[in-house]
Structure 1
Amino acid sequence: MCLRGKSKQTFTSTIKDNYWWQANFICRYKLSFDWSISGRIEYFSDPNNIQIVSLSPNVENGTSLYSGGICVNYKVREKAILRFEGRYFNSKKKYLFLMRVLHLNTCCG
């Protein structure tokens, strides 16, 4: 059995019960050889709190949120990019959450 905060999940449960999904749309526009801008919109759904654990005991199980981001990218070298990113998260439920993964998505495009 795995315990994290107020969440409790048994390893004997089926895969049907333990799922989450995410969809996103990413675009990038090159301003010059070294500069580009990127944008991203995402939807994340975790109905059984597999990836996200609620820190508030008053919130029912299940998490869904929208996210958007804008990036300014500078190509430092052929395989190195310096990125400045602003992100916004929105959810119908007003609560704090703890990510059990490093990030929903690794980059902006």
Structure 2
Amino acid sequence: MKVVIFLVAFVVIVAVTTAAPAEEPIPILKQDAEVNFDGSYHSSYETGNGIVVNEEGVLKNPGVENLEAEEVHGSFSYTSPEGQHIYLTYLANENGFQPSGDHLPVAPL
């Protein structure tokens, strides 16, 4: 019985000491948010690893049946694993999500 307890303890110690080290959490450097009674809002944050996000939205045609729509403008940036700086802006509304960025492919003319 003592041998089994010793072996289990040994296996647990080896597993704990050889496990991959836990990664440090990425800090939030800045964070801001505002929600208004008219349905508009603004949100932004920046992280310690270089991610920057900004977004604002507004309710278009409030109170007009079948014409109300949320319109959102935003942007985000980060560095890709290959070291490329990615910057994307977007508009999202009743016409869908419309991104724009130099890294996005462009259809031939």
Structure having the higher Rg: 2
User: Comparing both structures, which one devotes a greater share of its residues to helix?
Assistant: 2
Same fold (TM over 0.5): no
Higher relative contact order structure (alpha carbons within 8 Å, sequence separation ≥ 6): 1
- TM-score, structure 1 length as denominator? 0.43
User: Comparing both structures, which one devotes a greater share of its residues to strand?
Assistant: 1
